[in-house]
Structure 1
Amino acid sequence: MNEYVLRTHRLVKAYKNQLALDDVNLNIRQGSIYGFIGQNGAGKSTLMKLVTGMAFPTSGTIELFGESGDKELVRARRRMGVAIENPALFPQLTAKENLEIHRLQRGIPGKECIRRVLELVGLEGTGRKTARNFSLGMKQRLALAVALLGDPEFLVLDEPTNGLDPVGVVEMRELLQKLNRETGITILISSHILSELHLLASHYGIIHRGRLLEELTLDELQKQCRQYIHIKVDSPELAASVLEQELATTKFEVLADGTIQLFEHLGRPSRVSGALAAAGLAIEQFMPMGEALESYFAKRIGGGAHE
């Protein structure tokens, strides 16, 4: 099995004199949930369209499941499920009827897949209710069901939580996590809700003005955004002993310069400083540090709000 489901190599997409994508090298590992982050116009949807064959690159290559030739890419895309922009739903038809049309158009054999995906997305009980009478959340679930027809190995979703209420956002997140956990499906997902992606994705890509600024794992992101108390005292060794014995914690690091990063007791700083002072330590620096997820992304793109 190929380690990567998707890789792009120096991918460029130009519209007249404007670069929508500029030398993008994206890497999505098998079984991951890849959160794609950027402002409006950053290039997220453009890249998704190139990957799914809805548009063609100006230069560079796309590699899907280890394949990069034109004919091979056509074949590889049959292993994908896609929900980009507004889904092609027929408002006068039921969920089951919508899926039947998409099944026939895509040449997927057998009707059993319809029942299975309706159960997966929680729409098996909609009966004769037509899509025009669905809530926005139900329509998003139906669009996901369309993408899941044919048991894809790679799911590409552009803003699947857009317009959902908080309950709908949580339900969509839990559904995607369940799919990833139980079927091993790889997911590329864009969203403007950074805190929600933080709860969902295992890997991240930050794109800005067509350029991929950074790729990082969830562990790397959490380390960047981790909150801690920064401590500098006259005896780091004694301070470490106080933290372990008086505050019963080992969740700290003593850095090479002698400063300490304490990752526990964040809500009780006075207890920490009191214990250190009671041990006779001279406290030179004591302050909460770390940054919020949104602040980290804003800093990476040089400031500004995300979509």
Structure 2
Amino acid sequence: MAELVLRTNDLTKAYKGNIALDKVTLSIKRGSIYGFIGQNGAGKSTLIRIVNGLVSPSSGSVELFGANSERELVLARKRIGSIIESPALFPHMTAWENLEVHRIQKGIPGRKCIENTLELVGLQEAGKKKSMHFSVGMKQRLGIAIALLGDPEFLILDEPTTGLDPTGVIKLRELLKRLHSENQTTILISTHILSELHLLATHYGIIHKGKLLEQLTANELHEKCKQYLHIKVNDTSKAATIIDQELHTSNFEVMPDGVIRLYQSVHDPGMVSSILFKAGLTIEQFMPMGEDLESYFANRIQGERYV
């Protein structure tokens, strides 16, 4: 079994009677990009704060790199880089000076890492500019630079695209892909904006109202969200034979209710319906179906509301 970078067991956090986390048990494998999905207030930031040692859990446990005692966790957290919500910056310091403060705090030898990190996030030209004059997007990139100091093995990013324009989002995605492929960095991305996540994540965790609803791999999500043509005709057996012979495919399945799910030619439904019609079949139902990440997430939490 692949080594786990993070494991939580029945992690619970209550604030004055309000449950922010409700017995959350999750695991993140080394080398994965874990998309932590949930609406605002779902409990994502609370869990990240507990992992970083900023908040104590009400009950349950956290394990980092196999460490679970308080002393071991302090050492293990030195292998983490994180940005939680809005980055905390020294406004009257330059980007370079902000990184220098954090370099000293982390005990990282040499200053070469500062120039390298500024270049990595595209702030090499702003190194001497005070952060109080930065745009929201630049502040976010500086926060990511701070998280990247020291080449952490585990990078935790809480809403990292906040304030980034479309170009900045693309650059961040490319940066994370490079860190993942070249450094084998394990990455946890917490977000409620899903449009970019499916281009990055290898694993997903869905949290809603403090409860972890599901963990699944990108391949498992792909299977659940697979696009297909929903076909119901007056003669299912004949339709299956026609699809096999005319479309030269076995990439379909016949459901117990007689509906055929055709996973091929999804983007050419006119051709498929024409073949079935010419074969003398009566088409009773014919429509493209399937979900994307956004609709899957919406349906998943919608179903939870009625449990």
TM-score when normalising by structure 1: 0.91
Letter in 2 for 1:46: T
Matches within 5 A, 1:38-187: 38-187=38-187
Structure 2 SS opposite 1:157: strand
Corresponding residue SS for 1:82: strand
What secondary structure is seen at the aligned counterpart in 2 of 1:195? coil
Contact kept? 2:86, 2:140, Cα under 8 Å: no
Instruction: Judge which range, 67-76 or 166-175, deviates more.
Output: 166-175
Alpha-carbon distance in 1 for matches of 2:40, 2:157 = 16
Structure 2 distance, partners of 1:119, 1:2, is 33
Distance 1:117 1:127 in 2: 11
Q: Amino acid of the residue matched to residue 170 of structure 1? A: I
**Alpha-carbon displacement from aligned partner over 1:260-290 (angstroms, at most 9, x marks no partner):** 3223433331111112222444544322111
Runs of at least 5 residues in structure 1 that lack an aligned partner in the other structure:
245-249
Distance apart, 1:171 and its partner CA: 1.8
Q: Displacement, 1:187?
A: 0.8
Q: Which moved more, 1:213-222 or 1:119-128?
A: 119-128
Deviates further, 60-69 or 126-135: 126-135
Secondary structure at 2:125 match in 1? coil
AA of the residue aligned to 2:73: L
The one-letter amino acid of 1:207's match is: I
Give me the CA root mean square deviation: 2.0
**Structure 1 counterpart of 2:245, from 231, 241, 250:** 241
**Equivalent AA in structure 1 for residue 109 of structure 2:** P
Mapped contact 1:242–1:279 kept (Cα < 8 A): no
- Length-normalised TM-score, structure 2: 0.91
Q: C-alpha distance in 2, partners of 1:97/1:263?
A: 55
Distance in 1 of aligned mates of 2:163 and 2:144: 15
Rounded to whole Å, the distance in 2 between the matches of 1:79 and 1:251 is 49
Change (3 A) 1:280 1:188: same
Structure 2: gaps (5+ residues):
none
Aligned pair count reads: 299
Residue 124 of structure 2 aligns to a residue in which SS? coil
Deviations 1:114-163 (A, max 9, x none): 12212221222324222223222222111111001111100111101012
What's the counterpart of residue 274 of structure 1?
Answer: 274
Rounded Cα–Cα distance in structure 1 between residues aligned with 2:150 and 2:175: 18
Aligned residue identity for 1:296: Y
| Letter aligned with residue 239 of structure 1 | I
Of residues 106-115 and 55-64 in structure 1, the stretch that sits farther from structure 2 once superposed is 106-115
Moved more, 287-296 or 79-88: 287-296
What is the letter of the counterpart of residue 247 of structure 2? L
SS at match of 1:63: strand
**1:32–1:203: 8 Å Cα contact kept in structure 2?**
yes
The Cα offsets for residues 164-189 of structure 1, whole Å up to 9 and x where unpaired, read as 22222222222112211111111111
* % identity of equivalent residues: 61
SS across alignment from 2:13 = strand
Contact 1:251 1:263 in 2 (8 A): no
In the other structure, the counterpart of 2:252 is 253
Whole-angstrom distance in 2 between the partners of 1:289 and 1:190 = 28
Whole-angstrom CA distance in 1 between matches of 2:171 and 2:40: 25
Tell me how far apart the structure 1 counterparts of residues 20 and 46 of structure 2 sit (CA, whole Å): 7
Shift of 1:92: 2.4
Higher mean C-alpha displacement, 93-102 vs 48-57 = 93-102
Contact 2:231-2:262 at 8 Å conserved across structures: yes
1:13 maps to a residue whose letter is: K
Question: Which deviates more from structure 2 when the two are superposed, residues 216-225 or residues 227-236?
Answer: 227-236
